[in-house]
Amino acid sequence: MISQKHSRAGLLAGACAVALFAGPALAAPQAAPVEAVAADSEAPAPETEGLQEIVVTATKRETNLQKTPISISVLSSEALKQRRVQSLIDLADGAVPSLRVATFESRQSALTIGIRGIVPGDANQPAREQGVGVYIDGVYLGRQHGLNASLFDVARIEVLKGPQGTLFGRNTEGGALSIVTKLPTGEFGGGVTAGFGNYGSYNGALHLDLPSFANIAVKLDGVIQHQGPTTANPLPGQAGFNQYHRYGGRVSALWKPIDGLSVNLSFDKSRDENTPFYSDLVTVSPAGLVNLPAIVNYGFVRSKVADIGVPQQPSIDKTQGFTSTIKYKVSPGLELRSITAWRTVSDEQWDNSGGAHRTPVARANTAFSRYSLSNLGQRQFSQELQAVGSIAAIDYVLGLYYFNESANDAARTPNTNRWNADLSGFTIIDPSTYLLAPIARASRAYAKSYAVYGQAT
C-alpha cells in the first residue's frame, strides 16, 4: 500500500485571520502577461464597441481576463468549435502555447498533460501523480485515465500556467487546466451537430435546454465520436490501430428556489473504446547489429497495413460522476459555496502496438510483440467549502477542502507472436496463455487531503 498525504495549500500561522495574502495576488494592479485564445477576442467588432469582455474564474471569482494577474490562456466555446475540439487530445496541435497534450506511449486510454515542461511520467501507474491539475466545474480529476473522453457542452477551457497550489491545490506545479461547462438556461433551445470524415469517422452532439418548471432548469447533453483504424491489422478478426468509439451523456439541473440561492446537480457517464497508435520502425542503426526478417518493412512512410498481424481488441475506458454545486449570496459582498463530487474511472487495457517494429532484433524461436494488458479502477470523493467576497478594496477567497481517493491496477505484458526457426515467418502464441503470464506490476494507492486555504487581492 502506498500512502499519500498532501495538503491542498499550506497556510502559515495566523491563517484563521481574515485572509491569507498569496504572493502572486499582491502583484501590481496592472494585468500580468495574458495569452488569450478566445474567439470573442479574435472576432472583428465594430470600432465603437472595442474588444468584448472575456470572463474567467481562475481566481475562484468572475474576473475580466485582461485584469486577472495570472498567466492564462482561454479557449471560448466558439474557439473550440472553430478548432473542432471534441476531446482534450485535440488540443495537441499547439492551440495553447506551452500546453502539451499527448497520449501515454502509443495508448489512448490515458493522456499526459503538461505545462511549461512539467509533464508526468507513466500515466498508467496509480502510485504516480500528475504535475498539472485537471478540473471540470471546479472538481479535481485524480487520474489521467478517462481524460480522453468526449467533452460535453463546454463554455470555455482555462489554462493556468505556473504553480497554482494556493487556489487549486496539490499536483499543480506546472499549472491547471480548468474545463467549465454550460449551465442550464431554463429556456427551450439547443442544437445538433454532426460530421464525417476519412477512415470511416463520424461524430455527433445533441444539446437540449428544457423550459424551467418550479424554478428548475434542466439540460441534456449527448456526444459520440467514431474513427476506424488508420493502420489495418492483417490478422483476421482482430482490431486495427488508432481506432476509437467514444460516447457519453450528461444531465444537469439548476434550481433557484429563492433569490441568491442556486443548486446545480449534474451526472455524467462516458465510454471510450480505443486501440493504440501503430509504432512504425523508421530506421535501424547500426544496421549490422540487427537481423530483421524480410517480411518486416521500415522507413519514413506511415504504414497503412501492419507488416505482421497481432492479437488485439479495443481497450475499454469508463468514467462517470456526480457533482453538486450550491451557491448562496449572503450579501452583495459575500457568497458561500459548496462543491461536492463523487467520480469513478475503470480501464480495461488491451494494447499491442508494435508487432515486430517494437522489437527490431529478431532471433529464431523468439517471442515478440508486447501485449500490454492492464486493469485499473479508481474512486474519488471531494468536498469543498468556499467563502468568496470583498471588503472595501480587498477581494478574498477562503476555503476548506477534503479529498479521498483509492486506486488500484494490475498489469501483464505477455508476447503474442513467435518467430519461426528460419525467421521466414511467425506463429501466434496460444491466446489462452496471455492472462496466465506473470503480473508485471500490481499497485494500490490511497490519498487523503485536508486543507484550509485563503487568498486576497
Burial class (CB in 10 A: 0-12, 13-18, 19+), 444: middle
Residue 369 is which amino acid? S
Please, where are the H alpha helices in 226-323?
Answer: none
Cα(11)–Cα(20) distance, integer angstroms = 8
Collapsed DSSP state (helix, strand, coil) of residue 219: strand
Using alpha carbons, select from 123, 121, 124, 138 the residue that is nearest to residue 176: 138
Structural domains of the chain in order of their starting residue, each with its CATH number? 2-182+309-456 (2.170.130.10)
From first to last of its 457 residues, the chain has per-residue pLDDT tens of 333 334 333 333 333 333 333 333 333 333 333 444 443 434 444 444 556 778 888 888 887 888 888 888 888 888 888 888 888 888 888 888 899 988 887 888 788 888 988 887 776 778 788 889 999 999 999 888 888 888 899 999 999 998 888 888 888 888 999 999 999 999 999 999 999 999 999 999 999 999 999 999 999 999 999 999 999 999 999 999 999 999 999 999 999 999 999 999 999 999 999 999 998 888 887 766 677 888 888 888 999 999 999 999 999 999 999 999 999 999 999 999 999 999 999 999 999 988 888 877 888 899 999 999 999 999 999 999 999 999 999 999 999 999 999 999 999 999 999 999 988 899 999 999 998 999 988 999 999 999 999 999 8
- The pTM of this model reads 0.83
Strand runs labelled E in 141-257: 154-161, 175-181, 189-196, 202-213, 216-227, 244-255
